[in-house]
Chain A
């Protein structure tokens, strides 16, 4: 077994670069293609569990084969093509929607082996992710335009406005992390997160996952919100708001073409969760613990630390996929919990809250980097300023939570105020009950 693996490794190192690249691509695409049907099953089961339903449990054990049954159904359904459409664009749009979802992971490392894992470890890793995710809008816009349907077009237009708005905040939040890490490579982000934690000199055995640092926490929340908006998922699923737009941009798509849209959405959700895991959650590391530091500090349990280190190293793909599935579950949780935003709330959240906050975060990180460059090496400064900076950034974090809360609770004033009409339990009825015999007394404010 050992020698067979060694032989494969030896063969791989000596194969031509083009073949190596092909293998890297296959190692990414095949698991993704295999997992996408599972996500659909997982969403339906988890959602039904959250809503006190049973969900699909008939096909196969736990309903696991439901996705295959759905696929067969979609494949053999009548493929309705509306008349008076832009035929070429109509057929190409689902494919365009699928492309960015799969291409998004091109620079994502799912393990520590650099020969196998990011398809291209280019110097522009994060920019690549931004660029490809910005292409996602085409599938939706063209799908909205091609069938010559007003509802579809409205969905497409909504989506293009939404995606463009949330891309900005997303880019700024990633830029803050890039500034702190000093690189644009996603692999370098992961490497930086394996360092001792920021701002706590005593705890060298905790990894510096970006979500644990104040600026990273802020950027992480902003990125998570934008990521939901970018994948058109609830509560940002206005492009397919069924109470207003039937099904939005995919109203006129049936059978396999609809399935392709569906697949693209799920693949995008999964890969975006992967981006979140790689940038904010320590990538393919199991726990935020530096086992090598523990070996130095507590040598008594060296064997155990070494075992954990090996587990962390060799199980990397499992931990990474686990984090991705965790992200996916949060998507589903959000869908089960939050109501859809109104259009003005959507725009206000994107432009008035997330964008200024992410820019402020970016500037704070930039200021901090500048300060450490200028004052580098001065121990007094390090010990004094770091807690101060931590405090300041934490304050910003509290701010963002308040802002998001405000958007949900109050909206923008007037429109929401009209919705608080006392429809339930009107005081009139209660006062009627109180009066016995004579005329019911209607309260003055009724």
Chain B
């Protein structure tokens, strides 16, 4: 087991990771839908801070703009408009689903951890290339190496937008 050197990055990382993990648990554990959604907001926010910590600025800020700033606002909007009744009405029955869900979660964790942890075991200091995660680097990679997936994804999003308008408006 390699010893962990305490760096400023680590000092920032540990509380952020703790908050992220706790808020992720809060999303599923809390009874109140609005509080759950708020936990998810907090989780996304700390996640973006973790991205910053890894020098992946553009991904971190996209996380805030897209998820925290836009999608979660819509979630809250919908939850408030639906006005879900008292929390006890929403309580789930305790049956096999919980056990199956837990088992599935553990298996998923195992699969992801099995892929991610082996290369990370010997790492105790972050060493990204200097230009890594900058908008210019990311843009260059997106428009050269990954131009087709990028364009296909953008067309998919466009189809989604047009489709939502089509569904929402009967008469166009």
- Residue positions of A touching B, CB distance < 8 A: 18, 86, 88-89, 122-124, 127-128, 130-132, 134-135, 137-138, 141-142, 145, 153, 156-157, 160-161, 163-164, 167, 184
Contact = CB atoms under 8 A, between A and B. Distances in A.
Contact of B76 (A86, A130, A160, A161): A160
Contact of A135 (B57, B69, B80, B81): B69
Given A127-B135, A163-B73, A164-B73, 11 more contacts: A86-B35, A128-B61, A131-B69, A134-B69, A134-B70, A135-B68, A135-B69, A142-B76, A156-B80, A167-B70, A184-B135
B65 interface: yes
B19 interface: no
Contact of A141 (B35, B57, B58, B77): B77
Interface in B30-48: 32, 34-35, 38, 41
B50 interface: no
Contact of A130 (B34, B57, B65, B136): B65
Contacts of B76: 138, 141-142, 145, 160
B134 A123 contact: yes
Contacts of A122: 57
Contacts of B38: 89, 142
A160 B73 contact: yes
Nearest to A144: B80
B35 A157 contact: no
Contacts of B32: 86
Contact of A127 (B34, B35, B65): B65
Contacts of B73: 134, 137-138, 141, 160, 163-164
A24 B83 CA distance: 44
Given A124-B57, A153-B80, A157-B80, A134 B34 contact: no
B44 to A, nearest CB: 11
B150 to A, nearest CB: 17
Interface of B: 8, 32, 34-35, 38, 41, 57-58, 61-62, 64-65, 68-70, 73-74, 76-77, 80-81, 134-136
Contacts of B58: 123-124, 127
A184 B61 CA distance: 12
Given A89-B34, A123-B135, A134 B80 contact: no
Nearest to A130: B65
Contacts of B135: 123-124, 127, 184
Contacts of A167: 69-70
Main secondary structure on chain A at its contact with chain B? helix
A120 to B, nearest CB: 9
Nearest to B79: A145
A18 B35 CA distance: 34
Given A134-B64, A134-B69, A157 B77 contact: yes
Of B32, B62, B68, B135, chain A has the most CB atoms within 10 Å of the CB of B135
26 contacts: A86-B35, A89-B34, A89-B38, A123-B134, A127-B135, A128-B61, A130-B65, A131-B61, A131-B68, A131-B69, A134-B64, A135-B68, A137-B69, A137-B73, A138-B41, A141-B76, A141-B77, A141-B80, A142-B38, A142-B76, A145-B34, A145-B76, A145-B80, A156-B80, A164-B74, A184-B135
Contacts of A127: 58, 61-62, 65, 135
A433 B76 CA distance: 62
Nearest to B74: A164
A122 B73 CA distance: 26
A18 B69 contact: no
Given A157-B80, A184-B135, A164 B64 contact: no
Contact of B57 (A123, A138, A164): A123
Contacts of A153: 80
A183 to B, nearest CB: 9
B61 A134 contact: no
Nearest to A127: B61
A160 B69 CA distance: 11
A134 B81 contact: no
Contacts of A18: 8
Contacts of A157: 77, 80-81
Of B32, B57, B61, B64, chain A has the most CB atoms within 10 Å of the CB of B61
Nearest to A129: B61
A177 to B, nearest CB: 15
A138 B41 CA distance: 10
Nearest to B65: A131
A268 B8 CA distance: 31
Contact of A134 (B35, B57, B68, B134): B68
Contact of A164 (B41, B70, B136): B70
Of B8, B64, B65, chain A has the most CB atoms within 10 Å of the CB of B65
Contacts of A138: 41, 73, 76
Nearest to B134: A123
A163 B76 CA distance: 14
Nearest to A161: B77
A293 B38 CA distance: 54
A144 B29 CA distance: 24
Contacts of B65: 127, 130-131, 134
Contact of A160 (B8, B35, B77, B134): B77
B66 to A, nearest CB: 9
A211 to B, nearest CB: 25
A328 B169 CA distance: 41
